[in-house]
Structure 1
């Protein structure tokens, strides 16, 4: 504590509110905390509002993906409706994009559904097809590629037709097909291949104008049951309710209580354009949340930002009179209602000049200065202490009175 900084005196009187010692600038711990809170409360409010909206969006947004034919995809080309209906009927659906994992989960007494992948082509490699062909699960091939059909259902070959939506009736003895009655399809249908054993292949729902024996839906009864559907759009959310699509798909996939749902993922190593960076790790909906936070930030900047005029060039250095600087500082104090700061400045200047006149060293305590001034002026010690280290003035009139009294005190001490 130096005499030139009486504002930090630890012997200052206590604030009547009981919030700790009064600083030289007229503040306490409570008043400083209140002032800081008023300065940042709008920013805190905006941050909390943004966090609340972000959390609300995350909670209201159902877990969903945009992967085509995925059981958790709620879009028009997703398969969420089928998966939910199967779940309500006791079928446990395990979704995977890995052929290796699907092969490990597919066992006897389960159904393995293979759907088209991302690349609208052969997403399954020869090794993947070998793994799937070696499982003992019943197969449900929906919209298979040429390679998938040849490897997993060699008893079938593609028929002719397709390209436009047709509604076909069952026209076969398969119970699942007869329960459906009719389905819609844009596929070309299937025909028994030369390797098919007589009586093992059943084709249903012949497309319009197709060759005899062609069916949009086919079943191969052998060591395991293989059901094949030529158009994967039948099971999507957009087309499931058409004709008898739902009945056929649900019976096709719900034969067992365990269903492994495979939507192959395109080969990342071969797809150089695929994003495997940091953004690929973000959850679905992160983009919408980021846009919302950006909007909140822009609104906050526009709302709270300083609106300054154009820059004005000014030659430097600029000489400012001391009186002008003093008046400018006083106006700032008055505009901010900082009577405590103004009083602390007046008291600190008066204390420094009194200490210089009385020869009190700079490192002396406030009590030493008060005693020296009291002896020099004949004033009571309490009166001198109140002038130099008292509480901040409560209003402008008290500040003016304090300034006059400090001037009187200083005039009584001669060098």
Structure 2
């Protein structure tokens, strides 16, 4: 009978492929942690700050998307508040007028041209002479609201000057200007008068008088352009545009061309037509930072400060915990002594030696822990027959002057304690 041949042994490589790789134990480092445990600990520490940051980022993104592009600048075409002029700007856009909002003279000079209207709202500061000249050279039809003396003189070539007047109520325009006829009676504050000497070829058309020589509206028609001046800027404000005929006057003045350049002067602007606009003037910053970014940034900073205060290390009461190793009392004593010596704290070291000696002596003599110094001294004097002043100097005397005196004090305290313990 022939026995079957034994099966050939399985090669080690095939055996390893069949059984699969053995599970390797995690690598444990010296502090008894693994990579997984350290990652889990870091995640537990960082999850709350990350949650707060993600929530703030989502809030910023939401506000950037849903918040309309508005501002708070007075007389601005994107300001919906009472002091803004968004209502007039939106009506003009609905009528096909392209409104370009600018804040510097350089931008206004670059955007305005012969076939456009340039609106100049009141300047909280003032225009320099070169800026007035740059605006005057644009060739656009100018509409100026409440100009200062230099602006009025530069744009009207001295034909119109400013004065003081009061509005007593709706007044008829009393002029033949088409815009004034369309607006009808208004209650604008007068503040203009004719200062030309009559020799010029262009005389101003003045409307809405106050009866004593002041007017609220002046228009000069030059061969290549027109200049319209209104002493009361409330004619375009949201809170007054619907009063009387203010809306009709505003639309007549600003809707004469398809392009309207709306200048809301920046008080810090010093640019002219020859200056290169800065990135902020070109609107790049506004494009990168959505409206309302300032308050959102303030909220982010406040959240970061509160998070820092919450997670920062705080000083509090000492926490007693078991030491990971056993420290012998002799080693702790020597370490404390070295600290005293490094700090030259002879007084603290002497006070510690005296307090410990007095406590042991009082316990040996049967005194209470609340006994005062005189009681302890009297008991030691009775037990050792030493002079009272000597015992008081040893236990409650002044601090030693140097290291030698400290060592001598320790030796003498040890001698005194041995005398008390002697039977």
| TMscore range, shorter length | 0.5 to 0.7
Superposition deviation, residue 306 in structure 1 = 6.6
Superposition deviation, residue 263 in structure 1 = 3.2
TM-score normalised by L of structure 1: 0.58
2:91 corresponds to which residue? 85
CA offset digits 1:74-116 (Å, max 9, x no partner): 4433333322221221111223333344334333221122222
Within a 5 Å distance, the mapping from 1:29-68 to structure 2 comes to 33=39, 36-68=42-74
1:193 is aligned to 2:196: yes
Seen in structure 2, the aligned counterparts of structure 1 residues 252 and 268 have a Cα distance that, compared at 3 Å, is closer
1:252 corresponds to which residue? 253
Within a 5 Å distance, the mapping from 1:97-176 to structure 2 comes to 97-119=103-125, 122-123=126-127, 125-154=128-157, 156-158=159-161, 160-162=163-165, 166-176=169-179
Contact 1:182–1:245 (Cα < 8 Å) also in 2: no
Give SS of 1:168's match.
coil
Contact 1:68–1:118 (Cα < 8 Å) also in 2: no
1:297 is aligned to 2:304: yes
Seen in structure 2, the aligned counterparts of structure 1 residues 300 and 165 have a Cα distance that, compared at 3 Å, is farther
Aligned residues: 292
1:236 is aligned to 2:242: no
Q: Higher RCO, 1 or 2 (CA under 8 Å, sep at least 6)? A: 1
Contact 1:171–1:204 (Cα < 8 Å) also in 2: yes
Give SS of 1:167's match.
coil
1:22 is aligned to 2:5: no
Distance 2:267 2:202 in 1: 37
Superposition deviation, residue 49 in structure 1 = 0.8
Contact 2:190–2:208 (Cα < 8 Å) also in 1: no
Larger deviation, residues 297-306 vs 108-117: 297-306
Contact 2:159–2:203 (Cα < 8 Å) also in 1: no
Give SS of 2:54's match.
helix
Distance 1:91 1:321 in 2: 81
1:340 corresponds to which residue? none
Give SS of 1:162's match.
coil
Answer with 1 or 2: which has the greater Rg. Answer: 2
**Stretches of structure 1 lacking an aligned partner (at least 5 in a row):** 1-11, 15-19, 271-275, 326-415
Give SS of 2:229's match.
strand
Superposition deviation, residue 228 in structure 1 = 1.4
Give SS of 1:48's match.
helix
Seen in structure 2, the aligned counterparts of structure 1 residues 47 and 132 have a Cα distance that, compared at 3 Å, is closer
1:226 corresponds to which residue? 227
Superposition deviation, residue 32 in structure 1 = 6.0
Larger deviation, residues 130-139 vs 161-170: 161-170
1:177 is aligned to 2:184: no
TM-score normalised by L of structure 2: 0.57
Superposition deviation, residue 24 in structure 1 = 4.0
Contact 1:184–1:234 (Cα < 8 Å) also in 2: no
Distance 2:35 2:147 in 1: 74
Root-mean-square deviation (CA, aligned residues, Å) is 4.0
CA offset digits 1:164-216 (Å, max 9, x no partner): 67433323222222222233323413336224758853222223x432xx431
